Amino acid sequence: MTLDLPRNARLYLRPVQFADSPIERDGEVARLAGGLVWFSAWELIAVENGRRILQRTIPIADLPDDERLHAIAARITAPRVPLTLGERVLRFDQPQVMGILNLTPDSFSDGGKHSDDPEAAAGVGMAAEGATLIDVGGESTRPGAKEVWEGDEIKRVVPVIERLARSGTLVSADTRKAGVMEAALAAGAHIVNDVSALLWDDRALDVVVRAQCPVVLMHAGDPKQGADGGAGYGDPLIEVYDWLETRIDAVVAAGVDRARIMADPGIGFGKTLSHNLALLNGLALFHGLGVPLLLGASRKRIIGALSNEAPADQRLGGSLALALKGAELGVQLLRVHDVPETVQALRVWRGMRDAALVGR
C-alpha cells in the first residue's frame, strides 16, 4: 500500500482485529510479541504538532513501505526476551500474575493487614496460588498519601523480601527510593518496580545501572496533585506512549539493557477516568515500545467509578475484567491483589486459546 506519510510526522501502529488462531491464515495474521495473541490489522496513526492527522486501519499484509513503520512493526511482533533471575526464569510468552503485597498501614486495598508480617505468609501463599512473582511495597503511592522515611520503609520490606527470596519466590521491590532499592536487592529482590520511572530519587537510576537488575518504568503524571495529576492531556494514549518511549531511551542510554526494562502506563496515577479508559482501550499500542508490558488496574478507582462507587474490597469483578482485557491485548504482567481468582480466570482464558490453536 502507498500512503503519503509526512517525514516530520510521528507514526504509531496499534495491533487491531485480533484472531483466535493463526491456523490456515499464513500472511493474514501476525503474532503479538511472541505470545499467545494474533492480530490481522494495524491501526496506523500519524501525529503532527500534537494532532492526529491520519488514522487508518490496514491489513497487516498492506503495511506501507516506510522504514519507520517497519521498525515499529518489528518491535511489536518480536518475542520478549525471558529474564533469568537467579535460579528462576521469568518468561513473557504468556500473561503472568504479579501478586501485590502491601506492607503499609494505610494501604487503600488491604487496610495494612500485612503490615509488620516478617514471615510474609501472605506472599508465600500468593506464590502457592499461582503468582509468578510478588511485588513488595512499604510506602503507599496513592494520591495524598504521606511520604514514608526511607529507614522505616526498609524496616518494613527487608525482612519480608528475605523470607520470600529464601523460599525461592521471585520478588520485585515496589519503591521510589534508591536506598530502599539497594536494601531490597541486597535482601534478595530481583526486580525494581518504580512508579516514578527512576525520576523521584536522583540516585535511583544509578542503583539500577550498577545492579543491572530488571526495572519497571511507570508513567505517573503527578499523583501529588490529586486524581488527575493536574494533567490536561490532549491525547492521553499518544502522550503517555511518547513519555514512556523517551524515558526508556534515557534509561537505556544510562546503561540499562533494553531487554531488562518493562513499561507500565500507570492506570489511576495522575489520570482521570476518561484518560484511564483511553489507555485501557489502546493498550496494544504500547507494544511498539518493544518491551514487556505491566498492567496494574486491580481494585483501582476506575472500577468504582464504573460500578456505583463500589469500595476497594468489592471490586473483584472489575479487576478480573481488566486483567482479561490486558491478556487479550497481549500484556505480559498483570499486577493484582486477588491472585487465585485472577490465576483461575487466566487458566480458563489459556484453555480457550489452546483449543483455538489445535484447530477443528
Active-site residue list: 300, 335
Question: Rounded to an integer, what distance in angstroms lies between the CA atom of residue 202 and that of residue 210?
Answer: 14
**Cβ neighbourhood burial of 356 (10 Å; 0-12, 13-18, 19+):** middle
Question: Rounded to an integer, what distance in angstroms lies between the CA atom of residue 144 and that of residue 224?
Answer: 6
Identify the bridge partners of residue 100 per DSSP, sorted by sequence position. Answer: 135
- What cell numbers appear for 83 in the block? 529474564
Identify the bridge partners of residue 191 per DSSP, sorted by sequence position. Answer: 172
What are the angstrom distances between the C-alpha of 47 and each of 126, 239, 343, 351? 43, 11, 38, 39
Written in H, E and C, the secondary structure of the chain is CCCCCCCCCEEEEEEEEEECCCCCCCCCCEECCCCCCEEEEEEEEEEECCEEEEEEEEEHHHCCCCHHHHHHHHHHHCCCCCEEECCEEECCCCCEEEEEEECCCCCCCCCCCCCCCCCCHHHHHHHHCCCCEEEEECCCCCCCCCCCCHHHHHHHHHHHHHHHHHCCCEEEEECCCHHHHHHHHHHCCCEEEECCCCCCCCCHHHHHHHHCCCEEEECCCCHHHCCCCCCCCCCHHHHHHHHHHHHHHHHHHHCCCHHHEEEECCCCCCCCHHHHHHHHHCHHHHHHHCCCEEECCCCCHHHHHCCCCCCHHHCHHHHHHHHHHHHHCCCCEEEECCHHHHHHHHHHHHHHHHHHHHCC
